[in-house]
Amino acid sequence: MEEVKNQQVVLKDYVNGFPKESDMLLNDSATINLKLPEGSNAVVVKNLYLSCDPYMRDRMSKSQGSYVESYTPGSVALTHCQIFQSVMNEYLIQHSNLPEDMDPIAGLGVAKVLDSGHSNLKKCDLVWGGTGWEEYSIINAPDTLFKIEHTDVPLSYYTGILGMPGMTAYAGFYEICAPKKGEYVFVSAAAGAVGQLVGQFAKLSGCYVVGSAGTKEKVDLLKNKFGFDEAFNYKEEQDLDATLKRYFPDGIDIYFENVGGKMLEAVLPNMRLKGRISACGMISQYNLEQGGGVRNLFHIITKSVRMQGFIVTHYFHMFPKYMDMIMPLIKQEKICYVEDLAEGLASAPAALVGLFSGRNVGKQVVVVARE
Amino acid sequence: MEEVKNQQVVLKDYVNGFPKESDMLLNDSATINLKLPEGSNAVVVKNLYLSCDPYMRDRMSKSQGSYVESYTPGSVALTHCQIFQSVMNEYLIQHSNLPEDMDPIAGLGVAKVLDSGHSNLKKCDLVWGGTGWEEYSIINAPDTLFKIEHTDVPLSYYTGILGMPGMTAYAGFYEICAPKKGEYVFVSAAAGAVGQLVGQFAKLSGCYVVGSAGTKEKVDLLKNKFGFDEAFNYKEEQDLDATLKRYFPDGIDIYFENVGGKMLEAVLPNMRLKGRISACGMISQYNLEQGGGVRNLFHIITKSVRMQGFIVTHYFHMFPKYMDMIMPLIKQEKICYVEDLAEGLASAPAALVGLFSGRNVGKQVVVVARE
């Protein structure tokens, strides 16, 4: 009776190398019942904003013991999702009970509750958390959803500054790096969903901060909108080590690592004694069969560097504390956030693929519906 | 009047690649006055035991901003030693006031005071700390020497278990790795000056510990003398990743890193969530023009690994605490220590060079004189 069409984005097959739009397809033949069966504990949501995140690349490969479970390409059903050992999955793996043979890509998003069998969620509530790349989703583990309390900010912010990337910047910078006033901070992929926040947090902490990005437009944003002290386009630099020596003649205390590979290799000799590297992502490596080797790790010893990887879900208990910090900063316009909005579910494959060529400027979001 | 001959080991020129015995020479023409001039604050010592340590390789290269100052090859005088930024140097750079144009190699050692202008040291006191590779040395900064209080243990132990390598194992394992009972520990270069202690500390902490070494003799030592649960000869393994999976089917919580390169690359995918890597040394890399690349650092993120480099001198304030722990363990024979003693100053070049081919079994010491 409440059966409606439900367009979906489906992964066609496991991806090798750089993902392409054609690795995904739009499935227009699926339908969904927007009314839950009697006694269900699930919720039905209408997806509003979907988040494009670099970690999703890892799920497009056949799993080799990664921290996130591989997606199941459309040709294979995965109706009963095995809960993996990884904490990430507790938050990210949400599969709708589709009657079809295809599952949409799973990711984070902002959604509106249409029907609820869960005591804490009711119709018209707004939530963010793990959902499907489709118009409507059935969320079988609604406890993993965050209820949205503040709606006087753009709702899409819950895919970014008020969501997982915001928490990533907060935990990765404050908790992992323990910044001190006057320290020298370098952020790679600095115009991205996380990097733009790390740079602004660094300035709020009284640090000197330099960011790298891959276009002139992004470099301008870093300097003129986000308040980085300096910024450079890494694609225009012949010798990244020399570049960093130019911007950090006294060395780097904190490196917020988003890219890996050659950039990390250039950073290591420039680290200061007791420097900290927050290893958040290594996007330069995700599409390589074999990552580029980092040949100078010995500097970790000689500079007493702490390099710490982290998974943001381990810090999700700190969300209330983060919200208390970030909401006033947003409202007082002491922090800003740039998003790159792709309109319509049909634009989702290109939006996701664009992350890996750096096409997005700021946080990449797909707008499925505005309410 | 007290002028005597003073044989020295001198570095002939900066070293590229693997050091050779012929990179050093024995200088038999130097003399030294064993009586200090009136008013001097220095001390004159007779060197008893000299310590061969892997970090010394770094000092044999022309300095490229390392954490230790380069040696000055014999052809260049360095009578006034510049104090470098590095903390290491405060302890290690001790140059004797030679009238000649040559300085001996500097290192750590155990020595007996022959004459003292320092209020806390008197004739016949035993000390350990930075000294020269020669029969007698004048120590211009005697505050950096540690006075030896316990003489009911082999004096050579102050180059190893009771000296810098002991403190390295203690700080690197307990302070950096924060071991918990039942955790899985892997130690590379496990039969060396530091590794043999880390393995025994791990057992004392209730951990499961596996060590790697480069000969059958060392592997036997690890299992039969130091009490490692398992040990393997890395030179006989075709696929180190598979080897580690065999010994650690549930993964590695703590990796005590002494070698770097391919071993680190094999360890990373085998790390457990929230694992810790104590980056103590990377001896496999020291003689390479360009270190071998580590291509899978992404595991640091996916496993939330903390990789922490350290310089032992930052922990020297903990020496009294370490002595309180280690002395009873030695006396109760709950811990043992294997040394490789090379007899005579003339054997020093071969002993030092041997570290880099793994010729030594246990801590490599040069016996200059027994008292």
Per-residue confidence (pLDDT) for residue B69, from 0 to 100? 76
In a domain, B326, yes or no: no
Asked if A314 and B304 come within 8 Å (Cβ–Cβ), the reply is yes
- The Cα–Cα gap between B112 and B147 comes to 10
Same domain assignment for residues A175 and A260 = yes
HSE, CB side, 13 Å, CA atoms: give it for residue B340.
21
Give which of B298, B311, B313, B315 to mutate to test A binding, by max A Cβ within 10 Å.
Answer: B298
* B77 within 8 A of B139, measured Cβ to Cβ: no
**Does the residue B287 lie in any domain?**
yes
CATH classification of the domain holding A218? 3.40.50.720
pLDDT tier, A74 (very low <50, low <70, confident <90, very high otherwise) = low
User: Looking at beta carbons, which residues of chain B come within 8 Å of A297?
Assistant: 260, 264, 279, 282, 285, 291, 294
Q: What is the pLDDT of residue A102?
A: 66
Does the pLDDT of residue B100 top 90, yes or no?
no
Q: Is B297–A291 a contact, with Cβ atoms under 8 angstroms apart?
A: yes
Q: CB B67 to CB A303 under 8 A?
A: yes
Tell me what pLDDT residue A64 has.
61
- With CA atoms as reference, the chain B residue closest to A270 would be B65
Give residues 271 to 290 of A whose Cβ lies within 8 Å of B: 273, 279-282, 285-286, 290
pLDDT at A269: 97
Cβ-based neighbour number of residue A138 at 10 Å: 24
A206 shares contact with chain B (CB less than 8 Å): no
Give yes or no for a contact between B50 and B107, defined as CB atoms under 8 angstroms apart.
yes
In this structure, the answer to whether residues B31 and B175 fall within a common structural domain is no
User: Residue A90 pLDDT more than 90?
Assistant: no
pLDDT band of residue A289 (cuts 50, 70, 90) is confident
Instruction: ipTM value, please give it.
Output: 0.89
Query: B2-47 pLDDT, tens per residue?
Result: 799 999 999 998 898 899 999 999 999 999 999 999 999 999 999 9
Mean pLDDT calculated for residue range B252-258: 97
Domain holding A140, by residue range, is 3-160+338-367
A163 versus B73: the higher-pLDDT residue is: A163
Do A72 and A87 lie in one domain? The reply is yes
Asked whether residue A173 falls in the same domain as residue A247, the answer is yes
* Domain assignment present for B344: yes
Mean pLDDT of the residues in chain A: 90
| Residue-level pLDDT at A147 | 96
Same domain, B149 and B175: no
By the CB < 8 Å criterion, does B66 face chain A?
yes
Q: Is residue B228 part of a domain?
A: yes
DSSP one-letter code for A134: B
Cβ <8 Å between B294 and A297? yes
Quote the pLDDT of residue A287. Answer: 80
- On whether residue B332 sits in a domain, the answer given is no
Mean pLDDT value of segment A256-278? 96
Q: Is B172 on the interface with A (CB under 8 A)?
A: no
CB contact, 8 Å: B18 with chain A?
no
Label residue B99 by pLDDT band (50, 70, 90).
Answer: very low
Checking if the pLDDT of B89 tops 60, the result is no
| Average pLDDT across chain B, whole number | 90
Q: Is residue B81 part of a domain?
A: yes
Same domain, A206 and A247: yes
Q: What is the pLDDT of residue B91?
A: 39
- A302 and chain B in contact, CB less than 8 A: yes
User: What pLDDT is stored for residue B287 in this prediction?
Assistant: 80
B112 or B13, greater pLDDT: B112
CA distance B208 to B210: 7
The mean per-residue pLDDT over the stretch A183-211 comes to: 98
Chain A residues in contact with B61 by the CB 8 A cut-off are none
A186 and A101 both lie in a single domain: no
**A9 shares its domain with A155:** yes
Q: Decide which of B89 and A23 is more confident.
A: A23
Shortest distance between the Cα of A45 and any Cα of chain B, in A, equals 30
Q: How many CB atoms lie within 10 A of CB A229?
A: 17
What's the pLDDT score for residue B79? 27
pLDDT at A100 over 70: no
Judgement on whether residues A180 and A248 belong to the same structural domain of the protein: yes
Average pLDDT over residues A134-148: 95
What is the predicted pLDDT for the residue at A80? 26
Within a domain: B71? yes
**Residue in A with minimal Cα distance to B176:** A306
Q: Which two tokens stand for residue B199?
A: 């393995």
> Which residues contact residue A129 at a Cβ distance below 8 angstroms, ignoring those fewer than 6 apart?
A91, A94, A108, A109, A139, A144, A145, A146
pLDDT of A85 higher than 50: no
Hey, is the C-beta of B294 within 8 angstroms of any chain A C-beta?
yes
Q: What's the confidence (pLDDT) of residue B75?
A: 37
Is the pLDDT at B102 greater than 70, yes or no?
no
Angle at CA of residue A221, ends A218 and A223, nearest 5°: 115
pLDDT band at A65 (very low <50, low <70, confident <90, very high): low
Q: Do A292 and B297 touch (CB under 8 A)?
A: no
> Do residue B193 and residue B280 come from a single domain?
yes
B302 and A CB contact within 8 Å:
yes
CATH of the domain at B48: 3.90.180.10
Is residue A94 pLDDT above 60, yes or no?
no
Nearest-Cα distance to chain B for A98, in Å, is 30
C-alpha dihedral, A111 to A117 to A121 to A122, nearest 10°: 80
Largest CA distance in chain B: 69
CB contact under 8 A, B293 and A294: yes
Closest CB to B295: pick one of A293, A298, A304: A293
Looking at residue B62, its pLDDT comes to 80
Q: Residue B104 — very low, low, confident or very high, per pLDDT cuts 50/70/90?
A: very high
Instruction: Return d(Cα B198, Cα B318) in angstroms, integer.
Output: 17
Which of B280, B281, B302 minimises the CB distance to A67? B302
Q: Which of B279, B294, B301 minimises the CB distance to A293? A: B294
Is the confidence at residue B302, as pLDDT, over 80? yes
A204 plus A263 within the same structural domain: yes
pLDDT tier at A110, thresholds 50, 70, 90: very high
Mean of the pLDDT values across residues A292-318? 94
Give A-chain residues touching B310 at CB under 8 angstroms. 301, 304
Question: Residues of chain A with pLDDT > 70: what percent?
Answer: 90
Using an 8 Å CB-CB cutoff, list chain B residues near A303.
67, 309
The answer as to whether B88 is a domain residue is: yes
Same domain, A13 and A152: yes
CA A318 to chain centre: 17
Give which of B301, B303, B304, B310 to mutate to test A binding, by max A Cβ within 10 Å: B301
Least confident range of A308-312, B54-58, B77-81, B367-371: B77-81
Q: What pLDDT shows up at residue B65?
A: 58
| pLDDT 10s digits, B115-167 | 999 999 999 999 999 999 999 999 999 998 999 999 999 999 999 999 999 99
Please compute the mean of the pLDDT values over residues A325-344 and round it to a whole number.
Answer: 97
Structurally, chain A folds into a number of domains equal to 2
CA distance linking residue A247 with residue A227, whole number of Å? 15
* CA gap B188, B195 in Å, rounded: 7
Provide the token pair at B314.
């930052």
Percent of chain B with pLDDT over 70: 90
Picking from A260, A302, A305, the nearest residue to B66 by CB comes out as A302
* Interchain CB contact of A264 with B (< 8 Å): yes
